[in-house]
Amino acid sequence: MPVPPWGTGVAPPGVDAPDLASPGTAPPAPASPTPVPPAPAPRAPAAEDAAVAVAAALLRRTFPPHGVTGEAAWSVGGRGPVEIDAGDERAVQAACGVMHVHGRAGGAPRPLTADYVSTVTGVLAAQGATACLLARLRGRPGLRARTSLAQGALLSVGQYLAAATAPDADADPDADACGLATLTTADGARVEIETLDPLAWSGFWRRLGVDARTAGRGWGPFQRRFGTAVCPLPEELRAALGRAPLRAVAGAAAESGVALAEVPGTTAAPGLVPWTLAPTGHRSALLPGQRRHEPPSDAGGLPLSGFRVVESTRRVQGPLAGHVLRLLGADVVRIEPPGGDPLRGLPPMAGGCSARFSALNAGKTVTEADLTTARGREAVRELAAGADAFVHNWAPGKADAYGLDADGLHAVRPGLVYASASGFGDALGARPPIGTDYLAQVHGGLAAALRPAGEPPAPSLMTVTDVLGGLVLAQAVLAGLTVRERTGHGCRAQSSLLSAAALIPRPPGRVALAPLELPLPTADGLLCLGAHARAHPSEVAYAVGARDADSVPGRLRAGGTREWLERLREAGLPSVPVCTDLAELAADPAFARAVVAPDASVRHARPARPWDFEEAAG
């Protein structure tokens, strides 16, 4: 697609970018600021406007007003390399599997009612632009980065795509199940509980009158919900909690060590910036822009070739940050405990490793170290001494306990970008609840914002803040590297799942969906109307031969999806099929340039690199 005039980092007119002004320490001003280009003339809104606004806001934060925004060449499209007829937020949610994964818990594809894919894509655009600038600061020719809503959608379902295409995908015990994890008390409160400790889980249910065997049957699906997006809890558990008032449930949670949060009906976002960046007094012994490492042999011409990142991360948020930095060309070294990360054995398996784990960690160099020992901690220091960035998402207090905090690692690598991620930062006080995706959705206003009016608020079991949190963490690393390359100073970057949740734009109230805004059943599948079609229901009715807009759903059941999509295309109402099986994407010719099929090195399908890089004109 043509590069839009705002592709250098300026939000298009009429689009409100989030206010990301930081109350924290600003990075040092560069010596020679580059002016920001003027805004282009007004134009009609585009499908990708929300993504452009998010990207522009993040780039203004990465490069403050006195900085270098104008040097970052980037653009955002809708469909990108995916050959579908429509490419707005709702269409790519449908075609790329987001509706399918989000809707698993309810038994059918459902749309997320906030601009989640646009937000993911906006962060990807900012990452591409920042990486291009970093390459330029190291003397490489100017690059332009392109991404799209479709590529952002595919990245957000990468783990689920891997699991669906693993050789033993059918081994998933919850493959055909449904059910949310949100529970309702006797007095009508909707609550979310969280723990990673099976003893705490058992103790919580015991206090509510549930025997250990029954509670144990719920532990497996409860823990697997992060990978399966469903939580088929035994009905005995739902009934037991439904007999207790909120006060008794909260008491049982407190006594057993289980985190509990009441699910609010508000969509309000917390007032947080996506990351903070604090320069240190340490200065690298190398001059800004000086090459630290030779690029890895498979990095090609990618913008982060020559950068090295060391990560000690777990679950999704931290590993995904390292994953996207590797996709940008960085050499990523992953530290795992002796014997390897336990999640390597999480079914379904692909080539001897968990497909979900592989989706986030394939291609990284792995070294094992026991951080509870002096020898293991010294190994981390040695790795950090040769790195450009160190990334972790350890539990609060672990860095200090290990002696591997920012001051400790800056002592061995003064120019290091030390990046840490958490669930809530300090937003919920000195003793926050366990930092997991679903509690972040609750506290971040997403339980209501992502579901339409008329549907009870509940977190999506698709890991929306884990993915977005990993992307925001990666952008914080890139922002820190930019400061380091221009000034020679190391810095500390911090982000959280909650700060990532705050980035998603949402209306002040819950969104009401008309019937034609939902996936529409046909004789052999589902289709989703594109943006123009949804805005002109009478034209849709005429195109499919229905009496009126209310008759469209019934009419569509009389024909096949492909037939109706062709009619709608001919009528100038481009629409898309709704993905109901992620495994089919790897074999679909429309996704040939966006999804990499399983091969000898990686035994599951995966999203292709979500950026295209080319030399910038001039």
Least Cα distance to 228 among 177, 156, 293, 272 occurs for 177
- Residue with tokens 């891997």, as numbered in its chain: 162
Cβ atoms of residues 115 and 84 within 8 Å: no
pLDDT in tens, 359-369: 999 999 999 99
Over residues 402-446, the pLDDT tens digits come to 999 999 999 999 999 999 999 999 999 888 999 999 999 999 999
Q: Are strands 259-262 and 520-521 parallel, antiparallel or unpaired?
A: unpaired
Whether the CB-CB separation of 227 and 159 falls below 8 Å is answered with: yes
Sign of CA dihedral 346, 347, 351, 356: negative
Are 479 and 275 spatial neighbours (Cβ–Cβ below 8 Å)? yes
Answer with the residue of higher pLDDT: 66 or 384. Answer: 384
3-state secondary structure of 489: strand
Residue 176 CB partners (closer than 8 Å, separation 6+): none
- Mean pLDDT value of segment 488-498: 95
* HEC sequence for 533-601: HHHCHHHHHHHHCCCCHHHHHHHHCCCCHHHHHHHHHHCCCCEEECCCCHHHHHHCHHHCCCEECCCCC
Distance, in Å, from the CA atom of 166 to the CA atom of 170, rounded to the nearest integer, reads 9
Could you tell me the two tokens for 315? 């679950």
- Report d(CA 236, CA 205) in Å as an integer: 10
pLDDT tier at 618 (50, 70, 90 boundaries)? low
Mean pLDDT (whole number) for 270-287 = 78
pLDDT band for 142, please (50, 70, 90 cuts): confident
Given this model, what pLDDT does residue 17 score?
Answer: 37
Note the Cα 151 to chain centre separation in Å: 12
| Confidence check: pLDDT of 170 > 90 | no
pLDDT of 27 strictly over 50: no
| Least confidently predicted of 5-9, 58-62, 262-266 | 5-9
Query: Quick one: pLDDT at residue 587?
Result: 93
- Pairing mode of beta strands 526-529, 575-577: antiparallel
What whole-number percentage of the chain has pLDDT above 90? Answer: 81
Distance in angstroms (rounded) separating the CA atoms of residues 367 and 344: 14
Ramachandran category for residue 17: left, alpha or beta (phi over 0 → left; psi -120 to 50 → alpha): beta
Displacement of CA 524 from its chain's centroid (Å): 31
Tally the residues of the chain. Answer: 618
At which residue do the structure tokens 């600038």 appear?
133
Phi, psi at 122, each rounded to 5°: -60, -40
Q: What is the pLDDT of residues 247-273, one digit of tens each?
A: 999 999 999 999 999 999 999 999 999
In the chain, pLDDT over 70 holds for what percent of residues? 88
283-322 tens-digit pLDDT: 655 544 444 555 444 446 899 999 999 999 999 999 999 9
| pLDDT the model gives residue 44 | 57
Residues 508, 586: Cα–Cα separation, whole Å:
38
Contact 115, 98 (CB under 8 A): no
Q: Is the peptide bond before 348 cis (omega within 30 degrees of 0)?
A: yes
pTM for the structure as a whole: 0.91
Average pLDDT over residues 11-26: 37
Q: Across-strand partners of 260?
A: 193
Structure tokens at 480: 């820190």
**Measured between alpha carbons, how far is 247 from 150 in angstroms, rounded to an integer?**
44
Structure confidence at residue 172 (pLDDT): 72
The type of residue at 17 is: A
The mean predicted confidence, pLDDT, of the chain is 89
User: Does residue 66 carry a pLDDT above 70?
Assistant: no
* 65: confidence class by pLDDT, cuts 50, 70, 90: low
Instruction: Average the pLDDT over 192-209 and give the result.
Output: 97
CA nearest to 492, candidates 606, 410, 605:
410
The answer on pLDDT for 2 being more than 50 is no
**Is 22's pLDDT higher than 60?**
no
Confidence of residue 615 (pLDDT cuts 50, 70, 90): confident
SS3 category, 521? strand
- Residue in the block written with tokens 């109706």: 564
Task: Give me the pLDDT at residue 481, please.
Answer: 96
Please report which confidence band the pLDDT of residue 616 belongs to, taking 50, 70 and 90 as the band edges.
confident
pLDDT in tens, 326-364: 999 999 999 999 999 999 998 999 989 999 999 999 999
Residue 40 has pLDDT above 50, yes or no: no
Q: Can you tell me the mean pLDDT for 35-51?
A: 59
1-10, 61-70, 152-161, 194-203, range with the lowest pLDDT: 1-10
